[in-house]
Structure 1
Amino acid sequence: MSSLLARYIPESIVQFIRQNYLLILGFSILCIPTIADLSQDLWQTPEQGHGPFILAIILWLFYKTNTEGQPAEVRSNNISGAILFFAGALSYILGRSQEIWLFEVGAFIPMLCGLILLMAGSAALKKYFFAISFIIFLIPLPGVVVDALTSGLKSQVSHWAEVLLYAANYPVARSGVMLVVGQYQLLVADACSGMNSLFSLFALGLLYIHIGGYGFSWRGIVLFLCVVPIAFIANVIRVMILILVTYHFGDAAGQGFIHGFAGMVVFAVALIAFFITDFLLGLIFVKKVAK
């Protein structure tokens, strides 16, 4: 078994598993039921379908951070680590027993922070903090919170989709978030407008900035501030395509687009927009070369 691990898994990961196999086993006992329930429930919905994508990013970030090596000096912080871990454990127990996703999934943030403080100290926590913070995007927010944050954006998405298609001579009209095109009526709900993807696009933007190594530079800050406009434009394009597919090919084709390709359209447009924005910012924020 050890030879197989050494052959197919990097040595740093093998060493970590050998040293902490009991801890990994215990933490897996907590993680696996939660992930299994999410995959069978919320991750099956259009609103939370980005969950596996976010989980994959989190695992990759932990792997990437681990391969960068550990801090030279390890000073464990037992008191702070224990407080954070037990606070997270209580949140997990409450969330798991009462079926409150916010508490159950959110509990992994303080538990991980506490474990790292106990095992490796504050320097290691600082090193892994970006990977841990990504769990925020995995937490399913209550519908009331999502509606409060995105209701205005949803209305504007409908408005601009109508304006642009009307300018292209399509018979489209709007009443609130209800769009009428030809003989069809389309309700631009959360799943249609893709506003729930706003949170996953935030994650995509942060990951892009992190991989680019921009950090808190002006280029990184401006690129992060562009996440909302990019998400907005991507969702306008998504709704426009939905309207065009429905108008030309019928309601069944439009519904098939929502469930099959709409999410990919948003992410493809957003990623292209990130590349273009980053390129333009690169022309503005030229790196200073040391003389």
Structure 2
Amino acid sequence: MSPTEEQGYSETGQTRTRLPGGDPYGGAPRRTGRSSSRSLVTVVGVVVLLIAAIAFANRGDSSSTDGPAAKTDQPKAAATAATGSRPVETKSGGIPSGFAHTQQGAQSAAANYAVVLGSADMFNTAWRHQIVDTVYARDVAAAKQSAMDSAYSNEKFLSNIGLAKDGSAPKGQTFVSRVIPVGTKVTSSGSDATTVEVWYTSLFGLSGEASRNPVTESWYTTTYELKWVDTDWKITDFQQKDGPVPVGRDQTASTADDMTKAVEEYGGFTYAR
């Protein structure tokens, strides 16, 4: 299905949900850290492959004031708190767009772009093309598109995470890939170029009784290089690293049914600084 304005990435939802319940996918209660040895192998494999995909697709602190500022050498601490300003009121293909030409606007753009770039829609060719064309600067979008097509269509990669060649989930299972931003900060800023770090947690895996790759949680920080072009902030490059990772609580993981229901019923947000 080709993307339309009415059917954007937001249909997949982008919120984190953890519900109380029984055993995860018929297994043992969740343990602190990386869960069972099988989950650990799965997570390591997925992370390595995703980082490789990102590396293949991508060659290669400042004050909290709202307007563009001159470059500074070191970032200053600033809380990620509501400002009272609406982030955006427009969308392009279902993706938030039209961010303000300010540091707040750059941080909102980075958070929202992190969500869509980490969504399950990236595993669908038509949606992926629309996403990349929307969030990347025009002069780099074509190169990123080609590289990401090669990475996301890799059959071994898709097989390792339990997906079919077309990126679809097995019958009776739901593919979950969601990014939930926790905070943002500007590390360098000029009038038309800004670097923003987004710290987030990620849910990734297959929910369903027969799943061998249950949904797991990971933590990353992605640094986005943004440029002001075409009256909006666009990505020119980004780099990802692990963490900071909090200590996991001793909570019982949800059942496969509860996780699937949550994914289907809970929608996402437009993120603002």
| TM-score range relative to shorter protein | under 0.3
Structure number with greater Rg is 1
Q: Which structure has more strand as a fraction of its residues?
A: 2
Q: Which structure has more helix as a fraction of its residues?
A: 1
What is the TM-score with the length of structure 2 in the denominator?
A: 0.27
Q: Which has the higher contact order (CA 8 A, sep 6+)?
A: 2
What is the TM-score with the length of structure 1 in the denominator?
A: 0.26
